[in-house]
Amino acid sequence: MTRTVGYLGPQGTYCEEAVLHIYSKTDVCLQPFTGIDDAIRAVGSGTVDESIVPVENSLEGSVNITLDTMAHDVNLYITKEIVLPVRHNLLMKKGSEEIAVIVSHPQALAQCRKTLGKLYPKAKLKPVESTAAAARIVATCDGLCAAVGSLRAGEFNGLTVAASNIQDIASNSTRFIGLQRQPIVCEPGNCKTTLVCQINGEQPGSLYNLLGEFAQRQVNLMRIESRPARTGLGMYIFFFDIEGSIAESNIAAAISAIEKKCLWYKNLGSYPVYHVEK
């Protein structure tokens, strides 16, 4: 049976670009969603086999909706990571000159905030569901609007490029993850492992104690991110990205020690990392 892969649509998003670096269009059935959380929940409910969604950007940091949905709303595993260079363009209707409104995904607008402020100080920035949704809107607007998005989004919607490489930092890149209902076996090598847990924040040293379990086993942490636990103000959950696979004995031992010290805990899986060259 053909594998169905969900992503943040419509056609022309960076998310779709990440999917197409992993799968060929002829091998999978691509299913666009209007929201990142919809794409994630569709894996949980069995509507699609996998969804590929953004999780972190080098300029703007975490994509909170991805972290929160994974922690609170579904029980899924990360099965791959794709790091994609993100080069934004300002897309306009052919023949337009003035720009009063610039539309895009909030992450994309934020990644270009300084550049847009310099080029179009009077333009209003308007967030929409995705960069490709923004390009669609511009294709049907009165001509005073522009979209921040990819060259593909511009091409699909018949737009011209008014400015290219408008991200505030040239090396801008976004990490995407593939989510599935079952974990994969990731042989030690180019692997990462992600955990999320809630600790007892009222006990002094509880985070320090957790970190000690990694340190004493020479386990390298690549990222720590905290998000609200949703159990009250001042309560947090922590995401840990670890270098390596749970198939490695020191990582497996650190994880089982941590499990015992948390109020709740989820192992989000061990998975390979793919870097897309630009």
Would you tell me which residues interact with ligand PRE (CB under 6 A)?
A: 8, 13-15, 54, 57, 63, 86, 105, 107-108, 130-132, 174
Least separation in angstroms between CB 38 and ligand PRE: 13
What residues contact residue 129 under an 8 Å CB cut-off, 6+ apart?
Answer: 8, 34, 35, 105
Q: DSSP string spanning 1-49?
A: -PEEEEEE-STT-HHHHHHHHHS-TTTEEEEEESSHHHHHHHHHTTSSS
Measured from the CB atom, the residue of 15 and 67 that comes closer to ligand PRE is: 15
| 228 sits in which H/E element | strand 221-228
Measured from the CB atom, the residue of 79 and 174 that comes closer to ligand PRE is: 174
Least separation in angstroms between CB 132 and ligand PRE: 6
Measured from the CB atom, the residue of 8 and 123 that comes closer to ligand PRE is: 8
Question: Phi, psi (5° rounding) for residue 189?
Answer: 155, -125
Measured from the CB atom, the residue of 61 and 188 that comes closer to ligand PRE is: 61
Least separation in angstroms between CB 58 and ligand PRE: 9
The number of helices, as runs of H, and strands, as runs of E, in the chain is: 9, 15
Least separation in angstroms between CB 264 and ligand PRE: 27
